[in-house]
Amino acid sequence: MPSQIDLPPNASQLIEGLRDTGYDLQAAIADLIDNSIDAEASKIAVRLVMEADGAVLLLIADDGFGMSGNELKVAMTYGAIPSRRNPKRLGHFGLGLKTASTAFCRRLCVITRAASHPACKAVWDLDHVAKVNRWELLFEDALQPHELKLLDEHAGIGSGTVVVWERIDRILGDYKIADGKHRRKALHQMCDELTEHLGMVYQRFLDTSDKRARNVDISVNGEAVTPWDPFQEVNTESRMVSPNRAQPVELPDGSKHSFTCRAFVLPNKHEYPNTEEGRRAYQASRTQNNTQGIYIYRENRLILAHDWLGMRSKEPHLTLLRVDFSFGHELDAFFRVDVKKSRIELERSLYDWLVRHLTAPMREAESRYRLGERVAIKDIARDAHKGSNSNIGGKERGLVNSEVTVVDKATGTVDVKNPFGTTRIKILVEEDPLAKQLHVRTEGSLDEGLLWQPGLTNGHHSVVINRGHPYYSRVYVPNLSKSVTIQGMDALLWSLAEAELSNMNKDVKLYFENLRREVSRILRTLVEDLPEPKLDDGADRAEA
């Protein structure tokens, strides 16, 4: 019979090791806010500031129901879960408060006051634990005046809790040896990113029109956090492309629960009425491509954002697709939620169901993206060929060796007269007194997928370029703001079109047509592995 031995962990080693559980700052602060929401707080204030001596201080205060002394001791115990007032609480493992905090600070201080109970304070001091090598919590039930004042100022005169990170040694990282100006700038940027992150994670709690979750006010350094809805449901152009119905799940114990899965296809950024709305829909700090994917909510709190869970990689054609996947606490074990509430694992049958469920929405998103892509390329390209028209126009007279006479404008039938005689062919004829592009113009498509074709615009010899050809989208578009590069490519295609007109005769007519067809085919193949154009960046540069 084996003997039973009690082997408590080495306090100083374990508490230091738990600092490296993989938290990032945003996830850590969200874990603390979860506790405030579980405490039924209506207001939560986050302060992340640099003090006069350069030390960073984080404080999270709420006006929730607070804790008694015994409740505080339980809350500060690693792995202990307080008696749950609500089974839907966001806290899950009883580790978040401690591990999330000590991942960034060496001294975690919690000051709290429950109704009909005196205020109390508990501190995990990592240096003290290392010194005594025991799980020795510092606890006080008689607070100093300045500590009571801190509680009153931030949590109100009733019940509430203030969490303070002191001796922070990990937030600024590489900035620790930088001067104060750079440290403050870095911290300010972190606060902006935190505010955006909290607006996404707690959108359903912050949005007063959303009735799925209790409303809460959250602020960062005095500025209110505004909700950000990934699915833009208030936008009439945001289409839900999968049914909104509960999907049943039966657990091994026989209990039956459900989750919901909805897919939305958003407008392209270029389709929004103004630039600000488009940037808001796709978040200013992210590229449009990075916001696609599945958004997973547990009890209406976002735990995983814009991720395809390994079923697809992010690529431009799915840019407009976002999926709302929501479940309740009953399915925690089924979805295997991790300690940071930032990752889940799907059971295989559910994963396969999700792949099938999203097939049609992915097709819809790709179709809408391609439509928006064509519109965007047209807008970006509108003035990109001005330099080419000016350059060719100044030299046209000395380069043209043929005379083109329109026979039938509707069919594009013309007679081409050159040193080899007169030949009747078909080209693209355009007569528009408002046309800006005389020598180089673009069309959304050309017959047979040709890249270019000779044209006649307001009587001027021109080349018509196909915006729908991959060569245009993958070679032209990324360079539309580079005038010299565009002029060089335009000059080549105009020269090919002009050379065709200058050397046209009935014997070579078919050869020229085959040449354009074959070159267009070869170029289509050669550029197919080039990256998709970054339309947003191109648009911004073109406007600049």
pLDDT tens-digit series, residues 415-455:
999 999 999 999 999 887 766 668 998 888 898 889 999 99
Q: Up-side HSE of residue 243: CA atoms within 13 Å toward CB?
A: 4
Domain-embedded: residue 21:
yes
Among 337, 352, 378, the domain-final residue is: 378
Whether residue 256 is found in the same domain as residue 353:
yes
Residue 162 scores a pLDDT above 60:
yes
Which stretch of DSSP H or E encloses residue 325? strand 321-327
The per-residue pLDDT for range 376-389, each reduced to its tens digit, is 677 777 778 888 98
Report yes or no: 533 and 473 within 8 Å, Cβ to Cβ: yes
Largest Cα–Cα separation, the chain: 110
The per-residue pLDDT for range 478-514, each reduced to its tens digit, is 888 888 999 999 999 999 999 999 999 999 999 999 9
Report yes or no: 94 and 63 within 8 Å, Cβ to Cβ: no
Whether residue 61 is found in the same domain as residue 98:
yes
The total number of residues written for the chain in this structure: 544
E-strand stretches of 100-204: 105-113, 120-125, 138-140, 160-168
Whether residue 273 is found in the same domain as residue 315:
yes
The per-residue pLDDT for range 60-115, each reduced to its tens digit, is 999 999 999 999 999 999 877 665 555 566 655 556 789 999 999 999 999 999 99
Domain-embedded: residue 290:
yes
The enclosing domain of 340 has a CATH number of 3.30.230
Domain-embedded: residue 5:
no
Q: What is the pLDDT of residue 135?
A: 93
Whether residue 37 is found in the same domain as residue 137:
yes
Whether residue 52 is found in the same domain as residue 190:
yes
Domain-embedded: residue 434:
yes
The bridge status of strand 460-466 relative to strand 452-457 is antiparallel
Residue 284 scores a pLDDT above 50:
no
**pTM for this structure?**
0.72
Q: What is the pLDDT of residue 239?
A: 74
Whether residue 352 is found in the same domain as residue 392:
no
Domain count, the chain: 3
Expressed as residue numbers, the domain containing 373 is: 239-378
The bridge status of strand 160-168 relative to strand 138-140 is unpaired
**One-letter amino acid for residue 190 of the chain:** M
Q: At what angle do helices 25-38 and 180-201 cross, to 10 degrees?
A: 50
Domain-embedded: residue 386:
yes
Whether residue 388 is found in the same domain as residue 497:
yes
Whether residue 396 is found in the same domain as residue 374:
no
Whether residue 393 is found in the same domain as residue 348:
no
Among 378, 403, 424, the domain-final residue is: 378
Whether residue 387 is found in the same domain as residue 363:
no
Among 176, 191, 224, the domain-final residue is: 224
Q: What is the pLDDT of residue 541?
A: 36
Whether residue 310 is found in the same domain as residue 443:
no
Whether residue 412 is found in the same domain as residue 351:
no
Q: How confident is the model at residue 269 (pLDDT cuts 50, 70, 90)?
A: low
Domain-embedded: residue 2:
no
Give me 262's structure tokens: 């909805």
